[in-house]
Amino acid sequence: MPTAAKLAAAIALAVVAWIVSEQVKLLFPEGKYFGNFNYINAAIGFLCGWVVIGRQAGRGYSAGISYGITGTAAMVFWALVVHSGGEMTRLALRNRYRGPLEALTDSFGIAMEYLAMIATSQIILTLLIGGCIAGLLSEWVWRRWR
């Protein structure tokens, strides 16, 4: 059931995803084409905000912070899954793999490479602060518009 708290959490986490996407772009080599990178991450952030953070609204501000961080972690996980899967598909279409198991295994390796690349203090701090704000905003909206 749609609520104002779910919408607030979804929008807040989508904004966090957009900001972090811009920070991540700076870490990749110059000239890399990103396509719909920001939009995909914002959509993932929106869904994680709606499902993970917004669903838990109404349990207190400390729980809001906790669910905000949980929602942010879920957003990072799903973004890594989506983008490593996309890279694996791109490589598979170039006949880099001998079979589907090798492609799937490499997908996990690609995700770990991406995770190691984005594990900078600036991005982690942005994710933590953004997740806390999204959780607190969701809780505040839930108390304001029940």
Domain boundaries defined on the chain: 4-144
| Whole-number pLDDT of residue 24 | 94
Give me the average pLDDT of each 10-residue run along the chain (146 residues).
92 97 91 90 96 90 94 96 93 89 92 92 95 95 88
**Which stretches within 26-120 are classed as H helix?**
37-48, 61-93, 100-118
Q: Do 141 and 11 meet the contact criterion of CB atoms below 8 Å apart? A: no
pTM of structure: 0.91
Confidence at residue 63, expressed as pLDDT on a 0 to 100 scale: 92
